[in-house]
Amino acid sequence: MPITTCVFDAYGTLFDVTAAARAAAAEPGREALAKKAGELANIWRLKQLQYTWLRAVSDAHTDFWDVTQDGLDFALEATGLTDPELRERLLALYWELSAYPEVPDMLADLKSDGLSTAILSNGSPDMLKGAVDSAGVAEFLDAVLSVEDVGVFKPHKSVYDLVGKRFQSDPKEVLFVSSNGWDAAAAAGYGFTTLWVNRAGDPVDRLPWRPDHIAADLTGIPQLAGGL
**Which residue among the candidates 9, 16, 183, 212 is catalytic per the annotation?**
9
SS3 sequence of the chain: CCCCEEEECCECCCECCCHHHHHHHCCCCCHHHHHHHHHHHHHHHHHHHHHHHHHHHCCCCCCHHHHHHHHHHHHHHHHCCCCHHHHHHHHHHHCCCCECCCHHHHHHHHHHCCCEEEEEECCCHHHHHHHHHHHCCHHHCCEEEEHHHCCCCCCCHHHHHHHHHHHCCCHHHEEEEECCHHHHHHHHHHCCEEEEECCCCCCCCCCCCCCCEEECCCCCHHHHHHHC
- Whether 105 is catalytic is no
List, by residue number, the catalytic residues. Answer: 9
